[in-house]
Structure 1
Amino acid sequence: MTSHSHGTAVPAHQARSVAEHRAAVTDLLARLAAESRAEVLPLSGALGRALVHGVLAPISLPPFANSQMDGYAVRSTDIPDGGSDVRITQPVPAGSSPRPLQPGTAAPIMTGAMIPAGADAVVPIEKAVPDHFRTEGSGGLVTLPATVPGTYVRTAGSDIAAGERALAAGTCLGPAQLGLLAALGVAEVEVYRAVSVLLVTTGDEVVEPGQPLPPGKIYDSNGTLLEAAMQQAGLNVRRTGISTDNPAELQALLRTRGGDVDLIVTTGGVSKGAYEVVRQAMVEQPVEFLHVAMQPGGPQGIGLFDGVPFLGFPGNPVSCLVSFEMFLRPALSALVGAPAPRLPLSARLAHRLVSPGQKHQVRRGRLEPGGTVQLQGGESSHLMHALAGSNVLVHVPAGVTELAAGDEVEVWML
């Protein structure tokens, strides 16, 4: 990877597309998909992780035919079209192994209980006369309507058969996936180790929240914003204090804190100003600083710092979050399956927007229940209040300069 000299701007016609930069980030992080990064965890510790290998069902679900309702297990051929009285036999509670059902009898059965051999249907209790279970137990009569084979019977393997693929390799394990594994009797899984990230905010102008705010200074929102986004995505984040605009100090900080992480991410110091500390600190490293045809988040840094993958995000808060969502999150999803990709939806604009035709614009918006999206704030990358009021990212592809109210756009749920 070549290194641009400090302060050299990338000509506009050389701006990298969003897709190209996402591919470059994915390539940079390809080592994260190595099986050497696998670990075995109990289900209780695997939430948000991704499977290294697919899982085949060790048993069928359900493992035996069972009742879908509280009612009576019957032989359908025992009951004529007009219904009939049937003698009640031994009840079948859930968890028991029932005796075979004798011809001409009906077994009271609970939801989830095993269907007795010989029975082929269940008549719900509310269709029986009387419509409640008799307290005197077996030996009495119950009037039941005619039924057909299979009624209210969950057949063995109707959910998944033993030997079928339950989950594919790379599946991100959420509550539903972990629940399936538990239902199959799987107690532990081989997953990719969580990605560890060193997160560094840069800038002499930045002050930690809670400290006095001198004139000309701003509070650091990038650190909290990105740390929260990364933690929510399942990354292990090591956050440093704010780095000054001294390149040597930044280099020392990265070497002291970043030698054993999977990735280094910085915010700020990647543009073409006179005091771009990240650019200066990376002069001797195989790091490229370039412009992506995206708004916000155009300036980007990518490469290696002392052999550790490095990404340099812009300093404006919305820009750094959009950079994470557009590049780092999708790359990790593609490589190791976690975090899960953002869900793309179609929505209709509540009002008109304009966009620079040569850039992919990412706006913030609020998706309303009716399927329309209200843009929050303008396109500027400092509008934190507008970001906090948003629940989607609104995508306007390169080549589109104007959209009218009612036009369809792609949105990503946040």
Structure 2
Amino acid sequence: MAEARVRPSSVPDGLITVEDHLERILRALGPLEAYDQPVVESLGLPLHENLIAPIDLPRFDNSAMDGYAVRAEDVADASASSPVTLPVVGEIHAGGAKPFAISAGTAVKIMTGAPVPRGADAVVPYEQTNRGSASVEIRTAVQAGANVRTTGSDVQAGDLVLSAGTVLGPREIGLLASLGSGRVRARPRPRVVVLSTGNELRDPGTHLEYDSIYDGNSYMLAASVRAAGAIAYRVGAVADDARVLRDALAEQLVRADLVVTSGGVSEGDKDIVKQTLTELGTVQFDKVAMQPGKPQGFGTLFEEETPIITLPGNPVSAYVSFEVFVLPAIRRMMGRTPYRRPMVHAVLASDIQSKPGFRQYVRGFFEVTHRGAKVTPIQGHESHRMGALAKANALIVVGEDETALNMGDTVRTLVLDRPF
């Protein structure tokens, strides 16, 4: 579930490790109950049970080419210089055919996908004929089975075609539909309610007062939820008022499998999330040995015991915290593994200094060159710098006991936006 608990010696007393906080979240959450859902809506979801093919693919012998269905032995001597002429006794189109049979020494015009008539065992392409209607000149010999897609040659009824846990992508969904599965049993997408707190926050496109700012966090986090494959309900900004926050949460729980907030979890007088949630459920607030993102919270709300993850308000802190804690939680609820984004190794393009005792997540730009993978730290480490965050496609992970990484070192890197 989470990495084994190893507390680095440099972590200060009173702080918990990233692994401690993540393990508490993952242990409290479980995969959502699976149910039947439309197959096209199952994109990105793991199949809950083995899928056994109910039918053959192809269902019947059919033509792989536009041409003429024949008996191979009737055209065994055909060549360009000495064609074999056969009477054409019918024409078969895909989707409009009735059971049909041919006798020795005859041919049937046939279109791609149409069922091969009984008695025929090969198809001669148009290109090797004179495309006659009443009779046809066959200008090449063919082997039995040529240009025929035989019954069950792709999938046979009773085959195990997809195992439980398979993440359904476009190809798997195409297979399901081809086998007649209009619905599939899979775990649902978690419904995640996202809200930000702060009197200063305004929706983009509205008027800004002297001391107000646009609410980027709820948009960024809602987009992150959607990118993770879940359903996002963006509530937007909630004022720094305990009653308003309580009412907003109570109203949203009817559609929430998980609540994610940003802001209000530090030590300020107006950090009302921390104050209010303590009274509404089991939310516990911790200081995590990480930068950015030290103040974190997790627990449940009201009698419904809806899980909630509270993130810091600074945008970079919120984003990094989402990657480290919320993304694994969503994947666990969906039944997807691994929960955590895999680490990759890259060569560091410039030096990094780090504070001991904290795991630092440094914004970087990851690329693969002819010399291999490298990652370049992006200047501007403060947790309010959205411009620097938008330029990053990776997070460089600096361990708690590491105070410096040098150019040329191989470093652990989280490559963002990469499917896993």
Q: Distance in 2 between matches of 1:335 and 1:103?
A: 62
The 3-state SS of whatever aligns with 2:220 is helix
| Aligned residue among 44, 53, 58 for 1:57 | 53
1:233-252 counterparts in 2 under 5 A? 233-252=228-247
Q: Which residue of 2 aligns with 1:6?
A: none
Kindly report which structure 2 residues correspond to 1:221-260, keeping only aligned pairs within 5 A, or say none: 221-258=216-253
Aligned-partner SS, 1:33: coil
Partner of 2:323: 325
DSSP-derived class of the 1:318 partner: helix
Q: CA deviation at 1:311?
A: 0.4
Amino acid at match of 1:25: I
Cα deviation 1:14-35 (Å, max 9, x = unaligned): 75555554443333221x5235
Gaps of 5+ in 1: 1-9
Contact between 2:190 and 2:334, CA under 8 Å: does it hold in 1?
no
Give the superposition deviation at 1:222. Answer: 0.5
> Which residue in the other structure is 1:411 paired with?
415
Residues 78 and 139, structure 2, Cα contact 8 Å, conserved in 1: no
Correspondence for 1:286: 282
Residue in 2 that maps onto 1:34: 33
| Residue 201 (structure 1) aligns with | 196
The amino acid of 1:110's aligned partner reads M
The sequence identity of aligned pairs, in percent, is: 36
Q: Distance in 2 between matches of 1:397 and 1:78?
A: 75
1:95-134 matches, cutoff 5 A: 95=95, 96-97=97-98, 99-126=100-127, 128-130=128-130, 133-134=131-132
Letter paired with 2:113: G
Q: In the alignment, is the contact (CA less than 8 A) between 2:278 and 2:284 conserved in 1?
A: no
Deviation digits for residues 276-302 of structure 1 (CA, Å, limit 9, x no counterpart):
322222334422223445444343211
Deviation for aligned residue 1:162: 1.7
Distance 1:406 1:119 in 2: 67
What one-letter code is carried by the residue in structure 1 that aligns with 2:178? A
Q: Which digits, 9 at most, give the CA deviation of each residue in 1:373-394, with x for residues without a partner?
A: 665833443332344445x434
Deviates more, 1:68-77 or 1:404-413: 404-413
Tell me if structure 2 keeps the 8 A contact 1:313–1:320: yes
Q: Residue 366 of structure 2 contacts residue 415 of structure 2 at CA under 8 Å; is this kept in 1?
A: no
In the alignment, is residue 24 of structure 1 matched against residue 24 of structure 2? yes
Alignment correspondent of 1:141: 137
Letter of the aligned partner of 2:171 in structure 1? A
Distance, in Å, in 2 between the alignment partners of 1:342 and 1:159 is 36
Task: State the TM-score, normalized to the length of structure 1.
Answer: 0.77
- Corresponding residue pairs, total: 394
Change (3 A) 1:343 1:29: closer
CA distance in 1: counterparts of 2:109 and 2:77, whole angstroms? 21
Q: Distance in 2 between matches of 1:41 and 1:388?
A: 36
Q: TM (normalized to structure 2)?
A: 0.76
Distance of 1:275 and 1:254 partners within structure 2: 18
Report deviation, 1:227: 2.0
Residue in structure 2 matched with residue 66 of structure 1 by the alignment? 62
Amino acid at match of 1:56: I
The answer to which of 335-344 and 72-81 deviates more is 335-344
